[in-house]
Each structure stands twice: as C-alpha cells, then as structure tokens.
Amino acid sequence: MSRVFFFTFLFFLLAHTPLRAEDGYRLWLRYDKIENEELRRAYLRSLSQIFVDGEEAILRTAAAELSAGLEALLGQPVPILEEPGGAGTAIAGILGRSPAIDPLVSEEDARKVASEGYLLTNRRGSLVIAARDARGVLYGAFHLLRLLQLRQPLGNLHLIENPKVKLRVLNHWDNLDRTVERGYAGFSIWNWHELPEYIDQRYIDYARANASIGINGAVVTNVNANALVFRPDYLEKAAALADVFRPYGIRLYLTARFSSPIELGGLPTADPLNPDVQKWWKDKVEEIYRLIPDFGGFLVKANSEGQPGPQDYGRNHAEGANMLADALAPHGGAVMWRAFVYSEEEPEDRAKQAYNEFVPLDGQFRENVLIQVKNGPIDFQPREPVHPLFGAMPKTPLMMEFQVTKEYLGQGTHLVGLAEMYEEALQTDTYAQGKGSTVARVIDGSLHGYQLTGMAGVSNIGTARNWTGHLFGQADWYAFGRLAWDPYLHAGAIFREWAELTFTHHPEALGAIQDMLSSSYEACVNYMTPLGLHHIMAAGHHYGPGPWVSNMPRADWTSVYYHRADEQGLGFNRTKSGSNALEQYPPPFQARYADRDKCPHKFLLWFHHVPWGHILSTGRTLWEELCLRYHQGAAEASRLREQWESISGYIDEERFRQVSMHLKIQEKEARWWRDACLSYFQTFSKMEIPPNLEKPKHSLEYYQSLTFPYAPGIRPRW
C-alpha cells in the first residue's frame, strides 16, 4: 500500500467513523477511556488505587471525583483504600494533618504551598496530592484528572499551583422568577419554586464544573436585586443550594437590595447611618449565617440605573458599604460593592463618573470590602480601554468584573473567544506605580499590597442542555475560571487546553479550534465597533446594530452620544480639548493616547474625534480604514465557518451541527452589522465605499426599520 493511499484511507476512516453522540452537557469534564493501551497501562502503574486521608466533605468529594474519573479514563475500577497502599497509589491529604503525606513532601515544597494551592508530585512510587486545606486537595485532584485527559506523562510530575486571586466568583444575573437578565442560554438553572426540597442534578454538576477550574464562589441572584430573597423561606432555599456547593469548596453569595430594611423590615428609611437600619442588617446577617455557616457575603449594586443606595440619604458609597461590611465582619463575610454607577442626570462623559465618585473615598472602606470594577469605564463594550480606577485606589482592594455572557458581543449566537479580551485587559499597563503596573498586578494585590483580592465573571449559564447556548460559550466560562486562578495565563494556551478537553486530541482539529477562538474576538470588534467605536447597538435588547439610536430617556443611553458622528468626522474627544476623561489615567498612559496620530488605532475613536479625510498611519483615510475594518471583520466571520467545516471529520455530529448553525448566523449578522453601520456613517462622511469592497445590500431605511420584539434580554423600562 502506497504512503499516499494509506494516509488518504486513514483520513477516510477518521472522517467517516461514527463518533460518540454528545450534546455538550459534560462540558470539559469528558472522562472517556484512553484509547492508547500503552499509555493507559503507564497511568495504571501510577494510579491503580487511591488513598485520601481525611473525612471532611470536600475530601470525600475529591476521593469520589478521583475514583470515578480514573475508572472512566483507565477503563477499570480504581479502588479507594482505607489505609495507604504501596506503589501505584495516589495519596491525597492535607499537609501537617496527614501521616501518609508528610514523609513524601519536602519541607521546601511544603513551604511553597499556599491556601487553596496544591503540590502534585511522583515520589517513591506514589503520586501525591498535598495541600494546606481540603479545597487545595480537590483542586489538585481535578488537575491530575486534567493531565490524564490531556495525555500528559506522570513519570517526572512535580508542580506546585497556588491561586493568585482569593475570591473567584461567578455572578448570576438570575431573577427569582427564573428569567436571566442578559442571559442567552435559556432560563435560570435555579428553580426557587422547588427548592429546598428538590435538588436538581444540574446544581451538583454546576458545582463540579466550577470546582474543576478553581471557582470558589457563586452569587446566585441578580445585581438588580430583589429584597424577597432575604425572606426566611427564600433563605432556606438559598441554604439548600449552599449545601450542594459546600462539598465542592464553593461559597454562596447573595445580592443585597439596599432598600431591604424598608421593603422587608417595615422601617421608614434605609439610611446606612441610622441605628435601626444597622441593627436590621446585623440581625439579618446573623439569620443568614445560622442557615449558611460559610455564607460568602453580599454583592451590591447601588445608586446605578435606578437601584436604591446610600446616596438617596446623602451618604456616600463607603458609608453604605461599611454598614454591610460591619454586619458581615464577625462571620468572615465580604462585601463586593460595584463601581458600575452613573448619574440619573445627563453627564458630560459617562466614562468619568465612577472614578469621580470612588477615588475620593480611597482608604475609607472597611477591610472586608472590595470595589468590583468592570474591565472598561462604560459597560462591557466589545472593546474598551481599561477602567481608570485600576491603579487609582491603592488603599482599597479592587476586583475585576468580566463579562462571560455576551450582551454586546453577539449575545448567544456568535463565537467570540473572550479570553483574548480578558488577557488584553489584564496585561494592560496602568503605569500607576511606573512601568509594569499591569491590571493583573492590581487585582492580584501585588501592586498595592491588597490582602483581599477577587475576580468576578457575569455568568453565561442557563437551562440550555449544553449550559451556555452556543457550545463555544463554554470556552469563556472555562477561560474565566483559569484566569481567575492565574491572571497571567495566555489566552492561546487556555483555548487549546479547552479544545482538547472538550473535542478531540487530533492536532489539525485542535489547531483550527484554537485559531478560531484566538481570531474571533478581533473579528467581532471589527464587524461591530472598529477603531474604538462603542455603544452603537440597538436599544433595549442590544441585539444588532443601532448607530442611529437617538431618542431615549437619557442621552447616555443613545448611540449618538458616544460616536459623535457629524459632517466633520467621527469619535468621542476625551482629550483636554474634549471631556478630558484621559486625565483620569496616569501621565504615561495619557501620553500613549493623547496624540491623535500616535494613538493606537484600536482606541482611536474612543479618545479622539477624527476628520473623515484624515490620513492614518496605514496610509488610508479614516473613512477608508473604517470601511476596510468592517469588511475584514465580516470576512473573518466567514472564515470561522469555513474553518469549522474543514474539521467535520473530527467532531461528533450533534455538536458539529450545533456550532455550524450558529456560525452561519454569525456570518449573516456580521454582514448585517457591517452594512448597517457603513450605510449610516456614510450619511455623514459623504464618501463612497472603496470600489474593491462590497456595497450594502439594502438601504439605510431598511436597516433602521428592522425590529426584534422577541429578542432576549429586553429590559422592561426601555
């Protein structure tokens, strides 16, 4: 048989061998039997039996996960021992409390393991998982299983992993009626009606998935909070969820509606300096901790988008946060106070308000308060410069809030690898304390010496069978967890890891999936908001383009407020001659963006109003560059679909079909964004689209006439 024929025949077999039907429910925890018998035997020599030293709930979970995972991967039972075994035993335990572990771990290694961290090493014929606490053992167990899933050798295994961020939390914008604000994967997975008696298996699988990537907290209610959750019967329901989470090392958090003392307590005020209000919260917190001993604390949205807050009583954010912090402090709870605020009155520049409100309060917050800051100063736009608060509050812990749901990035139908956006933000230099003052160093505490650190992700999880609606949305959940553990990881490595855990080990397919995820973020920015444009989506549901949106109750809810298109040019001038929002950043950061001709193009129209005919460094006018970027983005969306089609032989039919349908939608909607936006902006530029580029298929009036009354995420007040 010739070599050419052999490889052709091999590809035919790969492409046509029936693959196991899957629907995406298992996420990245796919413990399928390892096909390579030699590798499987090698693993069995190291992992033929398990001994987990300890009886607490999280350690029992670690033992069960190891036993079930290894049996599935290795194709035979791997027993859990009552006493430490000999060679081939995986021994897991807590340093200083495990006689079986301590002799196998050097003092030097033991000193390097921090809280929730772990050591994985192969010593004296035993594979050791050693940690300071039970959570660390569980995380180490999942890491070991991941190594087997990735077919990594164990012979010389020796690694120490410590989380760089303490609070690694998913924020669910889930309402008690099971609707999900900005959710695109169905309804909320929390069935409050059937809790606490009925525990859905999905709750357990959710906890497993989070623990496997190091997430240790879940805020299960919407930031637009409902005081009802503090009623005794709802607290019992929340306690049932906390009981499910606890064996997986996950703490439950709730959102606190600031007016709860009025709505539930019958008080005439919610003034944070009122003694009766303070007592109401103290009593309520004690009630919560009687039901949920490891309750994590509160997430608070106050004085933003109509939510009640301390400013209603002439108080500031610190006074409001500190009242709640004082109630939580005796129990070890924390307050995550959101910096997403903007005035009910039309501002000069909405991008400036959070900085103006919070920086003067630096150092006035209690030790158990974190300020939760979105990655950019507006609102989860496709691309924003980093928020000016990062680096500006050295005495107050700032935690990152990333989107995992894609409100402004295609919602539930577009493939957009968000790890690229996360990495871009985390590795941005704020210059707050000189060169190298990255956002990652702010949120991990190393720049300012924060003792309490955190990262939050707004969840994209719903009742869809595959959890996230778009199958590739799982990659965003996975990436958030990995980067919350270590904000210095690289997006490309995370994408490849997820692809291999989720789909296949074949190099060609892995390369294609990694490239799709890596290129998709820039593609989406280009076909939606290139060159620093932002907030030009349709009103209310935010589905699709709407650069013409102008008639809204508030100016800063409109698109025209942000893009400032006129006959002279395009963009929001945030330099000294404009709103001067750039002044909120340190001088070296300002210097990078202040000059229109030196400003990186990705933020050009964020910081500058640029004439249509202005020649950019590319040699093209602003109008020509805008047209080109929109067309490049749409072309990339087509390439994503083609890449996926090229690896059909390596993906099971059901999941391949799921993704294919969504990629066709994305390709169509990318062209819609391109054509609608260029048609609108052309009314100001009065310039022709370059002859080598495709012209819009319809008139501007056609695009403006489109309505989507059933689009998900509509906010009733809009």
CA distance 486 to 175: 30
Report residue 68's pLDDT band, with 50, 70 and 90 as the boundaries.
Answer: very high
Residue 380, token pair as written in the block: 């989860």
What gap in Å lies between CA 427 and CA 440, rounded to an integer?
A: 6
Hunting for tokens 């190393």 — which residue is that? 446
Q: Residue 716: which pLDDT band, with cuts at 50, 70 and 90?
A: very low
> By three-state DSSP, how is residue 235 classified?
helix
Paired with 219 in beta bridges are: 171, 253
The pLDDT value given to residue 545:
98
| Reported confidence tier of residue 715, pLDDT bands at 50, 70, 90 | low
What single letter denotes the amino acid at residue 468? T
Torsion angles phi and psi, residue 362, rounded to 5: -55, 130
Distance CA 686, CA 604 (A): 21
* Close Cβ partners of 578 (under 8 Å, ≥ 6 residues apart): 572, 609
- What is the β-pairing status of strands 126-131 and 118-123? antiparallel
Q: Which of 689, 556, 538 is nearest to 623 (CA)?
A: 689
Mind listing the pLDDT tens digit for each residue in 455-464? 999 999 999 9
pLDDT band at 337 (very low <50, low <70, confident <90, very high): very high
| pLDDT average, residue stretch 158-176 | 98
Residue type at 256?
A: A
pLDDT of res. 712: 83
Q: What is the mean pLDDT of the chain?
A: 95
Selected residue with higher pLDDT from 348 and 478 = 478
Q: Where are any strands of DSSP class E within 279-378?
A: 297-300, 334-338, 369-374
What is the distance between the alpha carbons of residues 346 and 327, in angstroms, rounded to a whole number?
A: 35
pLDDT at 394 over 90: yes
Among the ranges given (20-24, 263-267, 349-353, 558-562), the one the predictor scored with the smallest mean pLDDT: 20-24
pLDDT score of 219 more than 60: yes
SS3 258: coil
The proportion of the chain whose per-residue pLDDT surpasses 90, expressed as a percent, equals: 94
Nearest to 668 by CA among 527, 552, 536: 527
- What are the tens digits of pLDDT across the range 1-52? 333 322 232 333 333 334 456 999 999 999 999 999 999 999 999 999 999 9
Question: Sorting pLDDT into bands at 50, 70 and 90, what band is 713?
Answer: low
Residue-wise pLDDT for 529-572, tens only, equals 999 999 999 999 999 999 999 999 999 999 999 999 999 999 99
Is residue 490 within 8 Å of 423, Cβ to Cβ?
Answer: yes
Nearest-angstrom CA–CA distance, 99 and 413: 53
**H-assigned helices in 292-382:** 317-328, 353-358
Q: What is the pLDDT of residue 95?
A: 97
Identify the CA nearest to 220 among candidates 325, 295, 331.
Answer: 295
Q: Which of 300, 230, 207, 219 is nearest to 253 (CA)?
A: 219
Query: 594 pLDDT exceeds 90?
Result: yes
Q: What percentage of the chain exceeds 70 in pLDDT?
A: 96
- Binned at pLDDT 50, 70 and 90, residue 492 comes out as very high
Which positions are catalytic?
305, 379, 407
Task: Kindly report the number of other CB atoms within 10 A of residue 635's CB atom.
Answer: 17
The token duo for 244 is 């499910």
Amino acid present at 676: A
* DSSP helix/strand/coil, 570: strand
Lowest-pLDDT range of 90-99, 335-344, 376-385, 662-671? 335-344
Lowest mean pLDDT among 323-332, 655-664, 702-711: 702-711
Q: Are strands 217-219 and 167-171 parallel, antiparallel or unpaired?
A: parallel
What's the mean pLDDT in 299-315? Answer: 97
Q: Which domains does the chain have, with CATH numbers?
A: 24-161 (3.30.379.10), 167-502 (3.20.20.80), 526-572+609-705 (3.90.1330.10)
Lowest mean pLDDT among 17-31, 49-63, 402-416, 671-685: 17-31
More confident residue, 11 or 399: 399
Cα distance between residue 2 and residue 654, in whole Å: 34
pLDDT at 177 over 70: yes
The first and second tokens of residue 623, run together, are: 């109008």
Does residue 692 surpass a pLDDT of 70? yes
Contact 329, 366 (CB under 8 A): yes
Determine the Cα–Cα distance for residues 714 and 412; give it in Å rounded to an integer: 14
Helix, strand, coil abundance in the chain, percent, nearest 5: 45, 10, 45
Q: What pLDDT score does 289 carry? A: 99
Tell me the one-letter amino acid at 276: D
Mean pLDDT of 259-286: 98
